[in-house]
């Protein structure tokens, strides 16, 4: 948290709805914070006896980070889906689950700030703190839409479709922040859209076999699209807000959680005036619901801590492996059908994720990029979490 005060944090939505702020390369005042790999190159060479131990320790750390990101990203969609469609499930209000996520996040952030002795200064600049309300509301909308999406879509389809947040964030970054995309990044967005469209069509063909009304699939698709738009708007507005700001990482996360909680409680009361806070708030809650809440709340905050150890390759591998793991577990536990069209669309999405980050660029596009098109920096959103996950 202390190191993050010097950096201008971006945001990442964890796949499962975490809205933790993530540090980026851009530093306040126009400086540039070195990435872990760059810092290692700049640092003095270690003694000969420590070379092997340092390399081995770095490898183990990166593998641990990779495993954590894969498990967190995959478990987010799986636990949300299971909490909504498990056998004998009693109806429960997903708005209350989102509120509990935000309350848990606020509690953790406040505890860490109190331990650091900086809790009293969180709202010292009230005008600065108030600006966080806009992305907080957008993140609240995104989290609620995610629960709607997993109600109508299986976990693997949701995980693939949610990568459209890359597209929405890129387009909004161009419109609002004036960022430019390289030729390879533009091609990756086209490929991403084509891959997601193929996945949607594959699910419609499976549903037409008689298992579910196709109109329900379109409800889930619409919820994912709106969630990705909310994620992109929140990420871009938060990035614009934090440029030049010296507010710490955990202070911003506390602002987000508190504003989301206040707006969420008001929205819940408005949508259901007859709601009894004692009898109805936790109605239908089970172990699966609590696991989903805890996973989304703490997963997003933990990603904010470990993401600094992950480079683009590691983050993209975690996205790919989590989608594959989600698909495999969906087949094993939910009986989700996997057909050729789904595999084809998923492969297109996975390659688009790597291509957008400048990995695996074909020689023709690489030559065009070197001819003078300046590549844009990726905006981390959410996811992640985000995202999470995932750039």
Based on its alpha-carbon atoms, the radius of gyration of the chain, rounded to whole angstroms, reads 21
pLDDT at residue 365, rounded to an integer = 65
**Digit-coded pLDDT (tens) for 344-380:** 999 999 999 888 888 877 776 665 544 444 444 444 3
pLDDT at residue 131, rounded to an integer = 83
- Given a cut of 90, is residue 142 above it in pLDDT? yes
Can you list the alpha helix ranges (DSSP code H) found in the chain?
Answer: 36-42, 48-85, 94-116, 126-130, 133-152, 155-161, 165-172, 183-207, 214-242, 249-271, 287-306, 312-334, 340-356, 363-370
Structure tokens at 209: 């076999």
CA 101 to chain centre: 15
**Digit-coded pLDDT (tens) for 263-300:** 999 999 888 888 888 888 888 899 999 999 999 988 77
pLDDT at residue 22, rounded to an integer = 45
Residue 103's CB: how many other CB atoms inside 10 A? 18
Partners of 11 in the β-ladder: 21
């Amino acid at each position: 948290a202390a190191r993050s005060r010097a950096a201008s944090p971006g945001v990442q939505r964890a796949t499962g709805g975490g809205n933790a702020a993530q540090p980026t390369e851009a530093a306040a005042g126009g400086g540039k914070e070195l990435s872990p790999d760059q810092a290692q190159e700049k640092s003095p060479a270690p003694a000969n006896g420590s070379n092997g131990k340092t390399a081995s320790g770095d490898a183990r750390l990166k593998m641990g980070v990779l495993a954590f990101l894969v498990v967190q990203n995959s478990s987010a969609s799986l636990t949300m889906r299971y909490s909504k469609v498990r056998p004998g499930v009693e109806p429960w209000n997903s708005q209350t689950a989102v509120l509990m996520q935000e309350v848990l996040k606020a509690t953790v952030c406040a505890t860490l700030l109190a331990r650091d002795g900086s809790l009293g200064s969180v709202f010292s600049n009230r005008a600065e703190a108030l600006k966080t309300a806009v992305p907080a509301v957008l993140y609240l909308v995104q989290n609620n839409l995610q629960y709607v999406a997993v109600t109508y879509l299986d976990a693997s389809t949701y995980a693939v479709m949610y990568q459209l947040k890359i597209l929405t964030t890129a387009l909004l970054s161009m419109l609002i922040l004036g960022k430019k995309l390289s030729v390879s990044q533009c091609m990756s967005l086209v490929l991403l859209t084509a891959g997601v469209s193929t996945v949607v069509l594959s699910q419609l063909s499976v549903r037409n076999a008689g298992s579910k009304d196709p109109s329900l699939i379109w409800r889930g698709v619409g919820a994912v699209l709106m969630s990705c738009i909310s994620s992109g708007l929140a990420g871009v507005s938060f990035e614009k807000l934090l440029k030049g700001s010296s507010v710490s990482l955990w202070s911003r996360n506390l602002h987000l959680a508190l504003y989301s909680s206040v707006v969420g409680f008001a929205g819940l009361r408005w949508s259901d005036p007859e709601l009894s806070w004692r009898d109805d708030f936790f109605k239908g809650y089970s172990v699966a619901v609590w696991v989903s809440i805890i996973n989304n709340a703490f997963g997003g905050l933990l990603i904010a801590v470990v993401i600094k150890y992950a480079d683009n390759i590691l983050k993209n591998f975690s996205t790919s492996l989590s989608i594959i793991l989600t698909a495999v577990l969906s087949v094993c536990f939910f009986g989700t059908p996997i057909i050729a069209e789904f595999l084809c669309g998923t492969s297109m999405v996975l390659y688009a994720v790597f291509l957008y980050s400048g990995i695996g660029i074909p020689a023709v596009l690489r030559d065009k990029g070197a001819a003078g098109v300046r590549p844009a920096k990726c905006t981390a959103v959410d996811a992640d979490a985000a995202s999470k996950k995932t750039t």
